[in-house]
Chains A and B, each alone.
Chain A
Amino acid sequence: MRRKHFAFVAALGALVLLAGIAASVTHGKSEKGKQTAAPSGTVTLAGWSVSTVESALLKQVIKGFERKYPRIKVDYSALGDYDRAMLAKFSARQPPDVFYVDSNRAPTWIKQGVLEPLDSYIKKAKFPVSPFYSKLMDAFRVKGKAFRVKGKVSARKIYGFPKDWSPLGMQINTEMLAKAGIKAPTTWAQLRSAAQRLKSRNAVPNGKPICLAADWARILAFVYQNKGSFLNASKTKATVDTPAVKGAIDFYLSLMKADLLDIPAKLGSDWCGEALGKEKAAIIFEGNWLVPYMVEKFPDVGYKTFPMVKGKQQGNVAYTVAYGIGRNSKNKEAAFTLLSYLVGKVGMKTWTSKGLALPSRKDVKPVAGRAAFLKAAPYARPWQFAAGFDKVMTVAGNEFSAVVEGKQTVSAMLKKIQDEANATLRRGG
């Protein structure tokens, strides 16, 4: 029966092939399951790609941790395409144990149920929450109705601890400032007149006085200064289509129309930091991340950081990233031990020692020269909306670019964004 033999061999071979594929997959799964539940073993730590300096600092912190807790090993990896890599890991229910949580991703991740609530671990380890700036903590806390964990329902659930932060500051090219013979502006009116002086004195021959992207991530600071906001305090309604918000946008557009301001793309740059470095702008509004960039890319350009300007009130945006633990993590106890060290006094001190980031704890002093940023700590609001707001931000970004191109009116844009935001809020994200 040779013909039958061959045919069945072929089919059998096919099944073996398939089984082999499956086996290699399940084998991978069972290996992870070998970890124990005691605070020992291996903990995976993941973040996005960072510069070599930051990477070295983080490794230093990890080394300090491993010395203190010799029974726990840390497996750190920097993921390239962070959001997508995390999606894959969440979907496969194999997340890293500890990982970065961006404040703007937090609401969605919390709602999707991929973050582990930390309250029980905080209680057990008696880890103090008060040293952290409360506005930053709020970005990773869910108030009111919360998810159940092990039968307990608490009024506030903490899903992460901020590891650092930065608000926006105002950076001005010192040479150009001197050439225009002015002092750094502190109000909107002064900002306009400073720009006008820079222009009339031709202090920025290759560009424009101000570089400011048509990006809600920057404009929001001005909106806050004009007493406006995207959402109301309880995050149940969108407040985009209001005179306060319109006023901020109109201010931005008026500066652009008066030839005092431009977006990075028109200044031959990918972002305003590059424009400052290429000396195509005198005044920009960026955060602490500008410092290592300028040191590395444009060390010869002299600039100074001033506090953000003030509108009707002080207003600023706080960009912050937290460490969180995966809901499907296999080693949560050890993970929390690592997390608490990373954001603890010692860990954070090491991490912020080179001034690449600002500490999010009140009891850790930042390096010198960051006073301009720290001034914003009391009133800076976290860069965050509500769950499922990615599409709203896509709409907001597209509408804004249309307004800048002159294809859309400000009122129409604001209404559109508000409608989309309200629809998302109604849906629950």
Chain B
Amino acid sequence: MARSGRGLGSERVREALVGYAFIVIPMFSFLVFSIYPLFYALYISRYEWGILGKIEPLGLENYRELLRDDLFGKAVKNTLLYTAVVVPCQMALGLGMAVIVNQALRFRTFFRAAFYFPSLASSAAITAIAIFILSSDGLLNSLLGTDRAWFADSDTALPSIMGLNIWTTSGTMMLFYLASLQSISTDVYEAAAIDGARTWRTFWKITFPLLKPGHFFVLVVSVIGSLQLFDQAFIASGGGGGPNYATTTMVLYLFQTTVQDFRFGYGAALGVALFVLIFTLTLIQRLLFGRTEAA
């Protein structure tokens, strides 16, 4: 961009200044609301911290309490259980629907829209609809001939939320897989055809492994999303996390501890512990399933 006669030095300076000017607000946002909170949370977690601020220093007492905390253990267990069920289902369903929609079928757009539709709605609207349909005198019970209060029974409360979220999020996973499928070069299939491979084998031996980047991406997104389950558990249980702790997830417990119990110090410690948990899980995933990606 230099006019003839300008030295290279001052031009580079100019470009650098423009560069900084362009990124100053985004960087401010990231630093203040993502990076700084990490350290601030560590600081707050060392205090007893109430509505009006610091109350007294506690050192590592909050963390010691965390290790003894039964309810924390339950929250972690519920969340991990939920993740372990929902992630494979979402992935399988997403992949299945992607494969179907990817075929040379008529009405593909309709099917794709139908499968993706539940993902469009907000968690609040979806949960409200689910509460209605799953009520003890609701549609599902009439179709199944039962009369369970699905969200009010500790055996079926979390599974109901699992089903709900599998239904709503599989559409998004389908789109991710679709993109992956379409990026597989058709030469591969030609080669398979020449070798006389049949459809199912083609899929399992060739397509599936080639989808590895797609698998990894869907896995990571699905796991991170599932570990942060809050909206549906909060709305369905009215904030109580019941019945019998069934819908107490990690984020819900955090919410209860802070917004309802006003224990911000302990809540910060919870946040740090959960961050470590999520970070570790993501790292493990990367080591096991990923490779050095563009991200």
Question: A–B direct touch, CB within 8 Å, in complex?
Answer: yes
Interface residues of chain A, those whose CB is within 8 Å of chain B, are 3-4, 6-8, 10-11, 14, 17-18, 83-84, 87, 90-91, 93, 108, 111-114, 265-266, 268, 327, 388, 390-391, 394-395, 397-399, 401-402, 405, 407-408, 416
Query: Is there an interface contact between A265 and B136, defined as CB atoms closer than 8 Å?
Result: yes
Cα separation A397 to B147 with both chains bound (whole Å):
24
**Interface SS of A by simple majority:** helix
A401/B244 in contact, CB under 8 A: yes
Mask of B246-270 contacts with A, CB within 8 angstroms, 1/0:
0000000000110111110000000
Which of these binds chain A: B21-29, B114-122, B181-189, B272-280? B21-29
Contact of B240 among A265, A266, A398 (CB under 8 A): A398
- 5 smallest beta-carbon distances between A and B, as pairs: A7-B18, A11-B21, A402-B244, A401-B243, A7-B21
Tell whether, in the assembled complex, residue A394 and residue B244 are in contact, meaning their CB atoms are under 8 Å apart: no
Partner of A397, one of B14, B137, B240, B262: B240
Distance in angstroms between the alpha carbons of A8 and B24 in the assembled complex? 11
A112 touching B52 by the CB < 8 A rule?
Answer: yes
Select B21's contact among A10, A93, A112, A394, beta carbons within 8 Å. A10
Using an 8 Å CB-CB cutoff, how does the interface string of B140-163 with A read, 1 for contact, 0 for none? 000000000100111000000000
Q: A416 to chain B: which residues have CB within 8 Å?
A: 70
Per the 8 Å Cβ criterion, residues 1-59 of B in contact with A are 1, 14, 17-18, 20-22, 24-25, 50-52
B94 to chain A: which residues have CB within 8 Å? none
B171 within 8 A of A: no
A7 in contact with B243 given A113-B52, A390-B261 (CB within 8 Å): no
B61 and chain A: residue at smallest CB distance = A427
Contact A391 B261 (CB under 8 A): yes
Q: With A268-B137, A388-B261, A398-B244 given, is the CB distance from A11 to B24 under 8 Å?
A: yes
**Chain A residues within 8 Å of B20, by CB:** 11
Tell me, rounded to whole Å, the shortest Cβ–Cβ distance linking B191 to chain A.
52
Whether A114 pairs with B18 at a CB distance below 8 angstroms is no
Interface positions, chain B 225-244, Cβ under 8 Å from A, are: 240-244
Note all chain B residues with C-beta closer than 8 A to A408.
Answer: 244
A419 (CB) vs chain B CBs: closest residue: B70
Chain B residues whose CB sits within 8 angstroms of the CB of A266 once the complex forms: 149
The residue of chain B having its C-beta at the shortest distance from the C-beta of A263 within the complex is: B152
Most B-side CB within 10 Å, residue of A4, A388, A391, A407: A391
Is there contact, CB below 8 Å, between A112 and B14? no
Q: Could you say which interface size class chain B belongs to?
A: 20 to 34
A395-B71 in contact (CB<8A):
yes
Other-chain contact of B262, A14, A87, A93 (Cβ < 8 Å): A87
- Say how far A85's CB is from chain B's closest CB, in angstroms: 11
- For B70, the chain A residues whose CB sits under 8 A away are 416
Are the CB atoms of A90 and B21 closer together than 8 Å?
no
Task: Give the residue of B50, B153, B257, B261 whose beta carbon is less than 8 angstroms from that of A113.
Answer: B50
Q: Could you say which residues of chain B place their CB within 8 Å of the CB of A7?
A: 14, 17-18, 21-22
- Determine which of A114, A265, A388, A398 lies in contact with B149 in the assembled complex, contact meaning CB atoms within 8 Å: A265
Beyond A87-B259, A112-B262, A265-B136, is A394–B22 a contact (Cβ under 8 Å)? no
In the complex the two chains form, what is the Cα distance from A90 to B242 in whole Å?
28
A17, B263: Cα distance in complex, Å? 34
Whether the Cβ atoms of A3 and B1 lie closer than 8 Å is yes
Please indicate the chain B residues that have their CB under 8 angstroms from the CB of A391 in the complex. 71, 256-257, 261
Task: Report yes or no: B17 in contact with A112, Cβ–Cβ below 8 A.
Answer: no
Give complex CA distance A400, B92 in Å.
Answer: 38
B217 beta carbon closer than 8 Å to chain A: no
A388 CA / B266 CA spacing, docked (Å): 12
A87→B137 CA distance, assembly (Å)? 37
- Interface status of B245 (Cβ within 8 A of chain A): yes
Tell me how far the C-beta of A57 lies from the nearest C-beta in chain B, rounded to whole angstroms.
29
Q: In the complex the two chains form, is A401's CB within 8 Å of B21's CB?
A: no
In the complex, are the beta carbons of B154 and A108 less than 8 A apart?
no
B22 touches A112 (CB 8 A): no
Residues of B contacting A93 with CB < 8 Å? Answer: 52
**Taking the nearest CB of chain B, how far is it from the CB of A228, in angstroms?**
23
> A10 and B261: CB pair below 8 A?
no
Cα A407 to Cα B245 in complex, Å, equals 12
Residues of chain B within 8 A (CB-CB) of A268 are 136-137
Contact A112–B50 (Cβ < 8 Å): yes
Instruction: Say whether, besides A401-B242, A405-B153, A112 and B51 are in contact (CB < 8 Å).
Output: yes
Determine if B17 and A4 form an interchain contact, defined as CB atoms under 8 angstroms apart: yes
21 sample A-B contacts, Cβ–Cβ < 8 Å, listed by A number: A3-B1, A4-B18, A7-B21, A10-B22, A11-B21, A11-B24, A83-B260, A91-B51, A112-B50, A268-B136, A388-B263, A390-B261, A391-B257, A394-B71, A398-B241, A398-B242, A401-B154, A401-B244, A402-B244, A407-B154, A408-B244
> Would B25 and A398 count as touching, CB distance under 8 A?
no
CA distance A324 to B256 in the complex (A): 25
> Is there an interface contact between B52 and A114, defined as CB atoms closer than 8 Å?
yes
Contact call B51/A14, Cβ cutoff below 8 A:
no
A394 touches B262 (CB 8 A): no
On whether the beta carbons of B136 and A84 are closer than 8 Å, the reply is no
